């Protein structure tokens, strides 16, 4: 199987061009290629496919083989891939995902895409649609006790579920311990991605993320959008926010008139390769 490894803010995936390659059993292949010792090494697998509703279709899998609806860092890399490898010459493209069609604007330097802005759509706050089990219609600053500590949890979906937790300092969080306790908490029937946020000022936040199905990653695009919306909702920030992640920065803008979130960030190719899936 021919593949390209790409990363956006260090959130790395193995990308396969399914216009050329046939991929059977994507969940198993995702587990295999993602393994950082016995595979290629990635946070998951992204398949680029034809769509009858948009220019392309993005099919994404976490490193544990589970499928997700949407990947913010991944979709910027899909845009880079289809432009750089000649599948399109358009600078504005549409990509169908499990969370609907997303519209992307490509910035190009030396004939390569280096930055992408994505209209990530409207944040979803209705508990039943995230989904999160709750006796209130929305979950904002809800106290949740995990391992003798009370956390303030705000829940937002960007097509996939996010639990946003505000902390005084992201560095000291024992994310390997706390992350799975939220991911598998019985509040979240479809598990959850969990963002730990420290608000620096009205336009800057620090974020660490424990991703559903992949563990701690260096960045999460949907998580950055969900977190900025949670910050605005809680009255902590304005509508334009720089999200500082372990692997880089994302610029997030909430457009109140359109009720949509724009994400701008980098997309980079790491290497091309070929893997024998029969071994
Ligand atoms: N890294 C991604 C999100 C990937 C999917 C997520 N782990 C899930 O299961 O929903 C991003 O950049 O958005």
Catalytic residue among 9, 155, 220, 225: 220
In the predicted model, what is the mean pLDDT of residues 9-36?
Answer: 97
Architecture of domain 127-258: Roll (3.10)
Digit-coded pLDDT (tens) for 190-242: 999 999 999 999 999 999 999 999 999 999 999 999 999 999 999 999 999 99
Task: Name the residue at shortest CA distance from atom 3 of ligand 1.
Answer: 71
Domain ranges of the chain: 2-120+265-274, 127-258
Is the CB of 157 inside a 6 Å radius of any atom of ligand 1?
no
Q: What is the pTM of this model?
A: 0.98
Per CATH, the number for 2-120+265-274 is: 3.10.310.10
Atom of ligand 1 nearest to the CA of 8: 12
Testing ligand 1's pocket by substitution, the residue of 11, 14, 95, 160 carrying the most ligand atoms inside 8 A of its CB is: 160
Same fold, 2-120+265-274 and 127-258: yes
Digit-coded pLDDT (tens) for 136-188: 999 999 999 999 999 999 999 999 999 999 999 999 999 999 999 999 999 99
- DSSP assignment of the chain equals -EEEEEEETTEEEEEEETTT---S-HHHHHHHHH-TTTSS--SEEEEEE--SSSSEEEEEEETTS-EES--HHHHHHHHHHHHHTTS---SEEEEEETTEEEEEEEEEETTEEEEEEEE----B-BGGGTT---SSSB-SSEEEEETTEEEEEEEEESSSEEEEEE-S-STT--HHHHHHHHHT-TT-TT--EEEEEEEEETTEEEEEEEETTTEEES--HHHHHHHHHHHHHTTSS-SEEEEEETTEEEEEEEETTTTEEEEEEE-EEEEEEE--TT-
71 is a catalytic site residue: yes
Testing ligand 1's pocket by substitution, the residue of 70, 123, 219, 263 carrying the most ligand atoms inside 8 A of its CB is: 70
Q: Is the pLDDT of residue 279 over 90?
A: no
In the predicted model, what is the mean pLDDT of residues 50-59?
Answer: 98
ipTM at complex level? 0.99
In the predicted model, what is the mean pLDDT of residues 96-103?
Answer: 98
220 is a catalytic site residue: yes
Task: Name the residue at shortest CA distance from atom 4 of ligand 1.
Answer: 71
């Amino acid at each position: 199987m021919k593949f390209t490894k790409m990363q956006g803010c260090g959130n790395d995936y193995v990308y396969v061009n399914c216009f050329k390659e046939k991929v059977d059993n994507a969940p198993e292949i995702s587990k295999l290629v993602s393994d950082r010792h016995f595979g290629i090494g990635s946070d998951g697998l992204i398949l680029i496919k034809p769509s009858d509703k948009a220019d392309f279709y993005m099919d994404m899998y976490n490193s544990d083989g589970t499928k997700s609806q949407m990947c913010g860092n991944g979709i910027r890399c899909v845009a880079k891939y289809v432009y750089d490898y000649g599948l399109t010459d358009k600078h504005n493209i549409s990509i169908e995902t499990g969370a609907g069609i997303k519209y992307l604007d490509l910035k190009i330097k030396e004939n390569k895409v280096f930055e992408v802005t994505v209209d990530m759509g409207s944040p979803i706050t209705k508990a039943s649609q995230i989904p999160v089990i709750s006796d209130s219609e929305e979950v904002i600053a809800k106290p949740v006790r995990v391992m003798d500590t009370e956390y303030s949890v705000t829940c937002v979906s960007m097509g996939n579920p996010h639990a946003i937790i505000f902390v005084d300092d992201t560095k000291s969080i024992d994310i390997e311990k706390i992350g799975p306790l939220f991911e598998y908490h019985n509040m979240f029937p479809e598990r959850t991605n969990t963002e730990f946020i420290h608000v620096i000022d009205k336009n800057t936040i620090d974020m660490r993320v424990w991703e559903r199905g992949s563990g701690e990653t260096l960045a999460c695009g949907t998580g950055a959008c969900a977190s900025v919306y949670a910050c605005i909702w809680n009255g902590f920030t304005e509508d334009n926010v720089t999200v500082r992640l372990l692997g880089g920065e994302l610029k997030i803008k909430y457009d109140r008139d359109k009720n949509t979130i724009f994400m701008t960030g980098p997309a980079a190719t790491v290497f091309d390769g070929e893997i024998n899936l029969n071994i």
